[in-house]
A = this chain, B = another copy of it.
Amino acid sequence: MTTVGFIGLGIMGGPMAANLVDAGFDVVGHNRGRAAVDALVARGGRAAGTVAGAVRDADILITMLPDSPDVEAVVLGNDGVLEHARPGLLLIDMSTIRPDVARALSAAGADAGVRVLDAPVSGGEPAAVEGSLSIMVGGDTADVEAARPVLETLGQTIVHVGPAGAGQTVKAANQLMVAGNIQLLAEAIVFLDAHGVDAEAAIKVLGGGLAGSTVLNRKAAGMLRREYTPGFRLALHHKDLGIVSAAAREAGVVTPLGAVVAQLVAAMVARGDGGLDHSGLLKLTEELAGRPGTPRT
């Protein structure tokens, strides 16, 4: 039986680890907060009190952590993954981090006899629960094939997009598009409200035409109710758009819409709304139009 260590049992990692248990993997979970570990054990997984405990017996180790420094600390740090890994461990980092950090982890792994993939995901909490994530994988082909049984348990669309770091580059493009799609939907909703048009009926017909999108299908209903419970917090999307901005500058790419939406997300975080779901961009867009908290009519 394949033993899968899983570090980071948050909004995304928790249901992902649960799906691995349900699929018959021997899952050993570690998390800073104890409640998520208890939930995994109740589901049939095993608990690890330390990183070392999660990695020691693992054939495959998954990390699902908030940001680049978290992953660096867990993988490269004292008492970290590379220190305790069995030879030939396959480390799949599914966090969203900087592509250059993903490449550095891959190189450090190679030096320590650990194979590393960057495999960030899209689809949000509902897709994590359903096991229907989109997974963009960077790394060596043989390692991607070795990871496939695990990845196919977690996701529906698994694509090997290139060498180490390529998964994170595609995820950066994903986050640019998602933030932009949400902001465009927010602008459309405020525009329709301001003209007295029934936004709910309008969203139905917009979704059927060329303006249709997964963001519209998954986010519009909550936005029409002005419910911004995460889901995916603006603070995390702000972090991701920082990755996009840096990677775009580095490659000499100009992203006019990406730059503007990054500013709007930054404004939300600066004013203390970083804990809202990213669909909360509607809140700022309404206030820019002098229509704070317009209720649905």
Contacts and interface: CB of A to CB of B under 8 A. Distances in A.
A170 to B, nearest CB: 5
Q: Identify the interface centre among A166, A196, A211, A288: most chain B CB within 10 Å of its CB.
A: A211
Size class of the contact patch on chain A? 35 or more
Query: Chain A binding site: helix, strand, loop or mixed by DSSP?
Result: helix
Contact of A201 (B135, B156, B160): B160
Contacts of A95: none
A209 B254 contact: no
A192 B208 contact: no
Contact of A248 (B191, B201, B247): B191
A288 B254 contact: yes
Given A162-B197, A184-B258, A289-B252, A134 B214 contact: no
B209 A212 contact: no
Nearest to A124: B210
Contact of A214 (B210, B248, B260, B290): B210
A195 interface: yes
A162 B257 contact: no
Contacts of A159: 201-202, 204-205, 208
Contacts of A205: 122, 134-136, 157-159, 161, 170
A178 B216 CA distance: 12
A257 B257 contact: yes
B195 A290 contact: no
A172 interface: yes
Given A192-B173, A256-B187, A161 B211 contact: no
B257 A174 contact: no
A181 B213 contact: yes
Contact of A285 (B192, B198, B202, B254): B254
Contact of A176 (B156, B184, B194, B285): B184
The 6 closest A-B pairs by CB, nearest first: A122-B209, A157-B208, A134-B209, A194-B251, A134-B208, A213-B213
